Amino acid sequence: AAKFKDLKPNMGVIFKFGSKPGILIMAADGSLRALSAVCTHLDCTVKYRPDLQKIHCACHNGMYDLNGQNLSGPPPRPLRQFKVAQKGDDVIVTRA
């Protein structure tokens, strides 16, 4: 999904997970998580918002926390969580 050296705390990157986008987030505390980037409302691609430290969907102002839990706006369900592992400098994401 990414090179570890390209990540820094409080950032998110979109990567391709099969045919769909995923989002890899390095939280402010340096921990990594990966989730589906497909909004559970109408399938827009979500983004990490460093200013809010949350995941945001700009289509209809949907908000998720860093575990993918839907917090506000129209999204009806959490984002799917993936498994993250680090191998050397590579960050590997697999289905949980």
Query: Which residue ranges make up the site for ligand FES (CB under 6 A)?
Result: 39, 41-42, 44, 57, 59-60, 62, 73-75
Sign, Cα dihedral of 37, 67, 59, 26: negative
Nearer to ligand FES, 12 or 75 (CB): 75
Nearer to ligand FES, 20 or 60 (CB): 60
Nearest distance, CB of residue 37 and ligand FES, angstroms? 11
Least CB distance from residue 62 to ligand FES, whole Å?
3
CA distance 72 to 49: 14
| C-alpha 78, offset from chain centre | 11
Quick check: helix, strand or coil at residue 15? strand
Q: Which two tokens stand for residue 72?
A: 């506000």
Shortest approach of ligand FES to residue 58 CB, angstroms? 8
Query: Closer CB to ligand FES, residue 1 or residue 55?
Result: 55
Specify the residue, 57 or 84, whose C-beta has the smaller distance to ligand FES: 57
Distance between CA atoms of residues 84 and 68, nearest Å: 14
